[in-house]
Structure 1
Amino acid sequence: MSGTAEVAQSYARAWLWKAAVPIAVPVLAALTLLLILLALLAAPDAPASAAFPACSIGGTGATAAGIDLDAGQMGQAQTIVTVAAALGLDPHAATVALATAQQESRIRMLANDGSSPALTAEQAAVTATSLTYPHDGLGSDHDSVNTFQQRWIASWGTVAQLMDPAYAAEAFYRRLQAVPDWRTIPLTLAAQAVQISAAGGAYSRWEPFARELTAMLWPAAQATAANPAGAADGVCPGLPVPAGSWVRPTAGAVTSGYGSRWGALHAGVDIAGPRNSPVYAAADGTVVSAACTSAYCDRDGNLGLAGYGNLIELDHGGGVTTRYGHLSAYTVTSGQRVSAGALIGFQGSTGNSTGVHLHFEVRQHDSPVDPVPWVADRGVDLHAPNPG
C-alpha cells in the first residue's frame, strides 16, 4: 500500500476538481467539501507503514481455516471478539460478527472517499471525513465505513463514532441482540438481519473461518473482560536495542507539543498512531506503576474525565522517569524491570483524551521537561518523518 496520506491526497484532488464545477453542487455543499479536502491536502505525509500497527493486541499475523491474516486484521479481529466478551455475549456472537466483517471488509477498518454517485455532495463531504481517522484501506460503497461497512446515513452513528473499532463492534452486537432467535437461526440469516445486504447469503461461506478465529482470540478476550482496567498479555516482540540506549516510544506523528495548552501545562508530547499501536519503554528502567488513573479505563475517555487513563511510569535512575498515558492496555506490572524497546502497552484514548495517541513525558526529580530536546540529546528524533 502506498500510504494513507498519498491515497487521501489523490482522492482529495479529484474532489477539488468536482467542486470547481460551479453548476455541480449547491454553493454551501461545495464550500464544505472544499474546506475538508484542503485540510487533507495540507496534512503531512504519513509513513507507508502507518495504515495499521506492525503489531497489536491481536498479535502478529496468523492463519485461520487456511486464510492468512496480517497483524492489522488480527488486531481488528481481537477488538471485535473482546467487545463481545465485555458485553457478556458468547463466542457465537463473535463468530457471527467475524464472519460479517470478513465478508464486508476482510476485517479491515475501511475509510470511504465519498466518491459514490449515490451520494449528494454534502453527504460525500461528510463521508470523506473518514479519511482523517486511522484506517487500513479505502472503500467507496455509498457512505459505508469500518470493518462492518456501517452507514452513518442509516443511523449507525456519526462518522467519528463508526471509525472507532470498539464502537463499531458494539453497534453490530446491539443490533444482533435485537434479532429474534439469533443464537439458533443460521449464521447467515442472523448476519443478514443486521446488515440488510444485497449479498446476504454470502456470510455463510465464512462461518468455519470465523469459528476458528473466535476460538483463537476468545481466551484473550475473556481475560480482558475480567480485568477491564487495562492489563493485557504481551504478544508483540520487543525492539532490539543496545543496552543504555534511548528509543522512540511508539510510531506516529507528534500532534501536540510540550508547553502551555488551554491555560495549563501540557507536560509531555502527544504521538498519534493507529489504535493499539505498540508502545515501548524509551530506556532501561523499572516500572513504578501501571494502572488506571481515571474513573474508568475500560473504554475511551473524554475531556470531562480527569486523569491519564491507563498510565505507566518508569524509573530510569538518576532522578529520571518517563510516563506513558492514555493507553488502551498495558503489559507490565509494578516493580518489573524492563529494557529499552520492551513492549509495555498499546496506544489508546483512555482518560482525559479525545483521540487515540500516546502521551509521553520525561521528568527530572518529578519535574516535567520537554521530551523532544531531551531524547534528541540521546539520539532520538520524535519528529522524524518516518519513525516506523
Structure 2
Amino acid sequence: MAGGGVAERWVRRRTRLWLWKVAAPVAIPVMAAVTLLIVPLAVIAGAEADTAAGPGLRCSAGGTGATVAGIDLDAVQMGQAQTIADVAATLGLGPYAATVALATAYQESRIRMLANDGSSPELTREQAAVTATSLQYPHDGLGSDHDSVNAFQQRWIAGWGTVAQLMDPVYAAEAFYARLIAVPNWQTIPLTQAAQAVQVSAYGDAYARWAPFATELTAMLWPAAEATAADLGGPSGGVCPGLVVPAGSWTRPTGGLLTSGFGPRWGALHAGVDIAGPRDAPVYAAAEGTVTTAACTSAFCDRDGGLDVSGYGNLVEIDHGAGVATRYGHLSRYTVTAGQPVAAGALIGYQGSTGNSTGVHLHYETRLDGVPVDPVPFMADRGVDLAADPGGRRR
C-alpha cells in the first residue's frame, strides 16, 4: 500500500538514533570536515532521490491552537510541536530533550516548518537554486537566512541533510536530537547551553528566554507523545493523535489547499470539495458523531486508483445527527470501524488517492438528509474556513 510502513519507519529511525548515540561524538566532526568537499554533488543527487519518499506525516494538518505561558500558538504550531515531542518520546530521550528542542524551534522559527526561497546574498547561484527546492515541499511559511530551512533552521550546506530530508518534520527533529545527545552532559546542563551546543547560533543566549514556555508546552504535549511511543503497531495509534476540539464545535478535517470546489464537473455533480495535502496527512472527524461507513468502495484500495476506477476508494462516513452527515473519500487507509462513536477531531484516516482519483487529496462532503450541500458555506456557518489552510495560504 502506497505510503504504508509507518511502524517500520519509526523502528528504523529509532535504530538510527541509537547508532548516533554511539557514533555521534566521532562522526559529527568528521562529517563537518568533509561536507564542504562533497555537498555540492551529493545534495543535488540526494534531493532527487529523496523526493520520491517525500516528507513524513505532518500532524499540523488541522485542529485548534492553545495558549502556553501566555503565548498564543495556532494549529500549525501546535501540530509541529507535537511532532517534535513525539519523536523525543519515541526515541526514549525523555521530556527534557523535547523541552530543549521546543525552545530552540520557537526561537528559530516560532515552531513552523519554513521553506527558503534562496534569496540570501550569502549564497552562490547553485546554492540558491538548491535551497529554493525547499519550496516544493509542504511548509508553513518562508525564510531567507542563508540556506536555513525547517523549524530548527537547519542548513544543508553545513551537513544536516539534503533539502528534501530537512523538509520532513520528523527527520528534522531526529537530526536535532542526534546532535543533542552527542553533547556531554546534555541532560543536566542549562537549556540554553544545550541548545547552543547543537545550533552554534550567533545569539546563543536567546534560547534561555523560552525555557519556561518550552517546559509548559512539553508538559502539555508529553502524554500524547508517550502514547505515540507506546503504540508503534499501526497508523491508528499515535503518529498523529486526535485533536482537542471544544464540545459541540466543528474543525477542519485535514490540512492542505482547496483544489476543487462543489458543483458541476465533467458533466456530473462534484458532490464535495477536494483538499490536497501531503500523502498520509491525517484526516479528522469534522464533528462528533457515529461512523456509518468505513470501507473500500472501489474495485481495489490497496494502491492508488485512477480515472478508470469508480467509487470513493477508502471511504469513511459519519452521522452527526439531525440529518447531518460527512464523507471522507480517497483515503490511503482508515482507522475507524462502522458503528464506532467518534469525537470531533478524532483521527479517522489519512489522505490518499484510492478510487476515482488522480492525485493525493481528501474528498470531503457535507450532506443534509442525504443530499450533498456545498461544504464551504456549510463549514463557514460553523466557524471553519475551508478556503484557507493552516499554513495561511488561500486559494
What range describes the TM-score normalised by the shorter chain of this pair? 0.5 to 0.7
Partner of 2:126: 122
Q: How far apart, in 2, do the equivalents of 1:142 and 1:279 lie? A: 37
CA contact (8 A) 2:62 2:253 kept: no
Alignment of 1:220-369 (within 5 A): 220-228=224-232, 229=234, 230-231=236-237, 232-236=241-245, 250=254, 252-253=256-257, 271-273=275-277, 278-280=283-285, 286=291, 313-314=316-317, 323=329, 325-326=331-332, 332=336, 335-337=339-341, 342-345=344-347, 358=361, 360=363
Distance 1:226 1:326, change over 3 A: farther
TM-score, normalising length from structure 2? 0.58
Q: How far apart, in 2, do the equivalents of 1:132 and 1:53 lie? A: 18
1:61 aligns with 2:99: no
- The alpha carbon displacement at 1:186 in A equals 2.0
For the aligned residues, what is the CA RMSD? 4.6
Match of 1:84 among 85, 88, 94: 88
Q: Residue type matched to 2:178 in 1?
A: R
CA contact (8 A) 1:112 1:139 kept: yes
CA contact (8 A) 1:273 1:347 kept: no
1:149 aligns with 2:153: yes
Partner of 1:189: 193
Q: Residue type matched to 1:343 in 2?
A: G
TM-score, normalising length from structure 1? 0.59
Deviations 1:100-125 (A, max 9, x none): 11111111111111111111112111
Distance 1:117 1:238, change over 3 A: farther
Q: How far apart, in 2, do the equivalents of 1:149 and 1:94 lie? A: 17
Partner of 1:20: none
Question: Structure 2 regions of 5+ residues with no counterpart?
Answer: 1-43, 45-58, 261-272, 296-302, 305-313, 320-325, 366-370, 377-384, 389-395
Structure with the bigger RCO (C-alpha within 8 Å, sep 6+) is 2
Q: Residue type matched to 2:285 in 1?
A: Y
CA contact (8 A) 1:289 1:335 kept: no
- Count of paired positions: 285
- The alpha carbon displacement at 1:175 in A equals 1.4
Alignment of 1:76-115 (within 5 A): 76-115=80-119
- The alpha carbon displacement at 1:272 in A equals 1.9
Alignment of 1:155-166 (within 5 A): 155-166=159-170
Q: How far apart, in 1, do the equivalents of 2:122 and 2:81 lie? A: 30
CA contact (8 A) 2:186 2:194 kept: yes
Distance 1:109 1:121, change over 3 A: same
Query: Taking every aligned residue pair, what percent have the same amino acid on both sides?
Result: 59
Distance 1:159 1:255, change over 3 A: farther
CA contact (8 A) 1:113 1:131 kept: yes
Deviations 1:276-316 (A, max 9, x none): 565336997635559xxxxxxxxxx99xxxxxxxx774487
- The alpha carbon displacement at 1:209 in A equals 1.4
Q: How far apart, in 2, do the equivalents of 1:210 and 1:113 lie? A: 29
Partner of 1:25: none
CA contact (8 A) 1:81 1:218 kept: yes
Q: How far apart, in 1, do the equivalents of 2:85 and 2:174 lie? A: 10
